[in-house]
Amino acid sequence: EVQLVQSGAEVKKPGESLKMSCKASGYMFPNYWIGWVRQMPGKGLEWMGIIYPGDSDTRYSPSFQGHVTISADRSISTAYLHWSSLQASDTAMFYCVRSRVPNFPDAFDLWGQGTLVTVSS
């Protein structure tokens, strides 16, 4: 089955680090762009960034550049989203997403189930 399975919910304190994962299965992981989308409570969707696992080409939204790091491990078909220092404003649901066309940055046809992050002192 073609799917993205994300790691579980997290509760963190401000200043802590976090690395969440997104495990892909059922398709050729290196060949599809895979990215992350944030949804703050009661708000809309925001594209954060994306990586092409085939060559690790990574692009970030200006709104998130420098605040998060996206990476991928082709050997285990897994993408990651990492914060070195969380803020309360990072409280949100995060979705990993896959571009629908191989080797091309396209619309997102595959979504993970979401990982809820709560940052509170």
3-state SS of 21-65? Answer: EEEEECCCHHHCCEEEEEECCCCCEEEEEEEECCCCEEEECCCCE
Shortest reach from residue 97's CB to other proteins, in Å = 9
Torsion sign, CA atoms 70, 60, 24, 29: negative
What number of chain residues touch other proteins (CB under 8 A)?
Answer: 21
Q: Using the rule CB under 8 A, is 114 a contact of other proteins? A: yes
106 near other proteins, rule: CB under 8 A: yes
Residues 10-69, interacting with other proteins (CB under 8 A): 35, 37, 44-47, 50, 59, 61-62
| Main-chain dihedrals φ then ψ at residue 109, nearest 5 degrees | -95, -15
**Contact set with other proteins (CB under 8 A):** 35, 37, 44-47, 50, 59, 61-62, 95, 100, 105-109, 111-114
